[in-house]
Amino acid sequence: METLEGGELCFPQLLNSSCRKPRSLHFEAMLIYILLSSISVLTVSLNLMVIISISHFKQLHIPTNLLLLSLAVSDFFVGLLMFFQIMLIDGCWLLGDVICVVYQYLAYIVTSASVGNMVIICVDRYVAICDPLHYSSKITNKRVRICVCLCWICSIVFQSLNLQDNLKQPGRYNSCSGECVIVIDHIAGLADLILTFIVPITVIVVLYMRVFVVAVSQARAMRSRTAAVTRVTVKKSELKAARTLGIVVVVFLVCLCPFFCVILAGQETILNASSAAFVICLFYFNSCLNPVIYAFFYPWFRKSVKHIVTFKILQPDSRETTML
């Protein structure tokens, strides 16, 4: 049983089995509450704007935007789940063992789906930049829908296997009442590390480097000879896409590396409030930045937001509004 001296009991009526709250300053706790609540609200709001924009306006129903829609859906649920993480700030989980496991299970699914969606988006941009002539034939709405469905199905199946012991017996690893702890064994943790971090990072970096090489080679070609106006237009779009992917790679690494460093640090991964709240929240924060990186770089998003906040989307035939 967890016995942190000087702390209040999570459940005063359970003197012999209740966890104790860790000592913390009131000001620091309130600051963390405000910060994480703001991030959660911002994550939900931004991704909801992306979801409404792409779902409502027919002109935005193109392959790339369908991928952005799937990413926004996963990130939207990440924002909602952050409210449960906020509950763990004071060191006590008050919703019971079943809700604890369900929360952790859903968190694993939506975060891994978010990573998967990011990889698919990078593949989409790679084809658009490095093989533009065949983009429309290789990347279709049907293929994108299939990839998105596979991404979500694989996330559900993998995390179900990854957390099967915790799902079968909720609370089996809790040492006292008021904890929300899940344990992942070494093999499952290694598989999670490879499939949700090493492989995605490798794919993203390789694709980005390829895009960077193409952009540099075209820049050199343009300096060596006079280029047509249409070629200049393509050049600008490729450089913009390369810069965007560069931001994605940096943010992805900054937000995810601490979480997986914790996994690599020990034989078992124990996720509880005291040891992993910061890295989990940083992992979640990536979902707040995704709509900024992917959506705010597009003029159609700013235009659609104006329609949403001014309630123009409620007007008849608003779905046919020109956005591109």
Task: Write the pLDDT tens digit of every residue in 301-322.
Answer: 888 888 888 888 888 888 888 8
CA dihedral (16, 22, 24, 29) positive or negative: negative
Domain presence at residue 11: no
DSSP symbols for 12-63: TT-TTTB-BPPP--HHHHHHHHHHHHHHHHHHHHHHHHHHHHHHH-GGG-SH
Report the C-alpha gap between 140 and 144 in whole angstroms.
Answer: 6
Tell me the DSSP string of 217-249.
HHHHHHHHS---HHHHHHHHHHHHHHHHHHHHH
Residue 57 — left, alpha, or beta (φ > 0 → left; ψ -120 to 50 → alpha)? beta
Asked if the structure places residue 8 within a domain, the reply is no
Is residue 155 a part of any domain in this protein?
A: yes
Total tally of structural domains belonging to the chain: 1
Whole-number mean pLDDT of the chain? 78
Least confident range from 25-39, 57-71, 110-124, 301-315: namely 25-39
Evaluate whether residue 302 is within a structural domain: yes
Determine the structural domain holding residue 228 and report its residue range: 26-314
| pLDDT the model gives residue 44 | 92
CATH number, domain containing residue 144: 1.20.1070.10
With a CB cutoff of 8 Å and minimum separation 6, the contacts of 134 are: 127
Q: Is residue 14 part of a domain?
A: no
Q: Compute the average pLDDT of residues 199-208.
A: 84
The whole model's pTM is what? 0.81
Residue 5 lies in a domain: no
- One-letter amino acid for residue 100 of the chain: C
Q: Which residue has the higher pLDDT, 280 or 292?
A: 292
Q: Is residue 193 part of a domain?
A: yes
- Assign 5 a pLDDT band (cuts: 50, 70, 90): very low
* pLDDT tens, position by position, 209-240: 887 777 677 666 666 654 444 444 444 555 56
Q: Name every residue whose Cβ is closer than 8 Å to that of residue 188 and which is 6 or more positions away in sequence.
A: 161, 162
Amino acid 144: pLDDT = 93
In a domain, residue 79? The reply is: yes
Of 278, 89, 18, the closest CA to residue 4 belongs to: 18
The pLDDT score that the predictor gives to residue 219 is 62
Confidence grade of residue 268 (pLDDT, cut at 50, 70, 90): very low
Where is average pLDDT lowest: 5-9, 21-25, 46-50, 168-172?
Answer: 5-9
